[in-house]
Amino acid sequence: MIFLLGLVTQALFLTTPVSLGTVVALCFWHKAAQLLLGEPLSGAPVAIQVFLGLTFLVTDPATSPRSSLGKFLFGLAYGTGVFFTYVVLRLTREPAYFDKLLVVPIVNLLVPLIDRASDRIERRLWPAIEKSPDFLTRFGWLGTYFVLFVLLVEQSLKVPRTQRLTLLPPAELPLSSSLKQLLGRHIECRFRFPQAFKPFGLRYEFAHLREIRSVYHGPESESF
């Protein structure tokens, strides 16, 4: 639903390159981190909170670059900033709630630099694209973004939910009533006292995830 609503505004105001660049950057760094560390940093390359931000927050035409290529580079910068801000916050054991917002002022300050860089690139590599009709440029970006979104959804559906790394065991696993009650209280406390449940930090979190996976995906899971 968020994606469909975003398509309307992006078709009207030509902000699709920003969203596309953000998604491309997040997918790239998510995959690079997974190859480097052996474990994914999150269950999906683009979290729902980040998706809200890239759809409605950083796509303001007044604060984004002028050209389509500049908007795409702007999205790449925003997605890269969100990823590394998330990593830094987790490493310092601080809540990663603000990783979507902290980068926005920084990339806004980079708009003049991005405009100059995009102008140089367009003069050398993109003259034909920039001279194409507006509707072709508009719906070309929109179509590319739509195809990438469909590929992301298809890829996520191929991964069984029980194999996705999360801080809590998947809901489909058979758990004892006492463990269900304990997990329910844990979730309730996380919602009522979010500051008391700061992230572990990447090193400790990966160890915690491996322990959960070994318990709930091994022979011991039959005892539940």
DSSP state of 131: T
Q: Domain count of the chain?
A: 2
pLDDT tens-place string over residues 143-164: 888 888 888 777 766 655 444 4
| 153 and 180 both lie in a single domain | no
Two tokens, residue 190: 């996380």
Do both 194 and 118 map to the same domain? Answer: no
b/e map 136-147, b = 16+ CB within 10 Å: ebbeebbeebee
**Position 165 confidence tier, pLDDT thresholds 50, 70, 90:** very low
Q: Which domain holds residue 194?
A: 163-223
Whether residue 22 is found in the same domain as residue 119:
yes
Per the confidence metrics, is the pTM higher than 0.75? no
Claim to verify: residue 105 and residue 210 sit in the same structural domain: no
For residues 104 and 75, state if they share a domain: yes
pLDDT at 152: 78
Stretch among 95-99, 103-107, 203-207 having the lowest mean pLDDT: 203-207
Position 80 pLDDT exceeds 80: yes
